[in-house]
């Protein structure tokens, strides 16, 4: 069953020994901000790994005589960009930061029709400028920023709704809130759970794609 923001909020109030109807300093607004901060922190760890986490695909149209193609609004890191060369085939495009812009060529089939690209003002700039419109002409595969939670009924993004991540988000948010209200008091014993779960989170993120381990070298018979 998906984890909602309200469910996380209730668990955090439990750690802080508060009630959602008698929260004192720990208002729902502050709790929700701490939850979002924790989820953003986990997502940032995933972005640093850059492989297999928060990965999405999106398509964009190529418009004749238009050089700029808008990037997906949630794009953080580009894995690759491809151009449509037939009804079902896409070919990789090359990033070229030295492209000068301004030239136009009639796109041909296969590699002859593959422009290079660079990025300006959060848009993909094609070089040379295309003179033919292509529906879904650009394929993006990229690592995305997860959507923020805006309501108590919102579910956590599916890739963040895993046991280790939920546990870490809970304890990290509780630690932030407790520290805010008890700056000069001794830290409670439960604060150690945040660091314990952080180590697990880092391990899980780093190992999403398990590399094979070979017992024998390839040239061993």
pLDDT of residue 218: 54
Q: Is 137 exposed, middle or buried (0-12, 13-18, 19+ CB in 10 A)?
A: buried
Q: What are the boundaries of each domain within the chain?
A: 5-51+149-206, 55-144
Integer Cα distance of 124 and 68 in angstroms: 5
Integer Cα distance of 31 and 37 in angstroms: 10
pTM of the model: 0.81
pLDDT of residue 107: 47
Strands 116-120 and 55-62: unpaired
Query: How much of the chain is helix, strand and coil, in % rounded to 5?
Result: 35, 25, 40
Residue pLDDT tens, the chain, 221 long: 899 999 999 999 999 998 877 778 899 999 999 999 999 999 999 988 866 899 999 999 999 999 999 999 999 999 999 999 999 999 999 998 776 555 545 444 434 467 899 999 999 999 999 999 999 999 999 999 999 999 999 999 999 999 999 999 999 999 999 998 776 677 889 999 999 999 999 999 988 776 655 556 656 55
DSSP state, 122? T
């Amino acid at each position: 069953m998906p984890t909602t923001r309200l469910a996380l909020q209730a668990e955090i109030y439990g750690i802080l020994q508060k009630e959602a109807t008698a929260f004192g300093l720990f208002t729902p607004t502050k709790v929700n901000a701490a939850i979002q901060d924790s989820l953003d922190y986990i997502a940032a760890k995933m972005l640093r790994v850059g492989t297999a986490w928060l990965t999405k695909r999106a398509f964009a149209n190529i418009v004749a005589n238009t050089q700029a193609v808008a990037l997906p609004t949630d794009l953080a890191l580009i894995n690759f960009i491809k151009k449509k060369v037939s009804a079902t085939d896409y070919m990789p495009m090359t990033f070229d930061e030295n492209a000068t812009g301004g030239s136009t060529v009639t796109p041909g089939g296969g590699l002859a029709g593959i422009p290079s690209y660079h990025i300006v003002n959060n848009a993909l700039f094609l070089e040379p400028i295309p003179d033919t419109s292509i529906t879904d002409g650009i394929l993006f595969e990229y690592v995305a920023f997860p959507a923020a939670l805006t309501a108590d009924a919102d579910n956590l993004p599916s890739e963040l709704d895993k046991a280790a991540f939920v546990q870490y988000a809970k304890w990290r948010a509780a630690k932030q809130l407790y520290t805010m209200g008890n700056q000069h008091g001794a830290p409670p014993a439960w604060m150690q759970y945040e660091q314990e779960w952080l180590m697990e989170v880092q391990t899980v993120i780093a190992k999403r794609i398990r590399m094979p381990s070979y017992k024998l070298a390839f040239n061993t018979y």
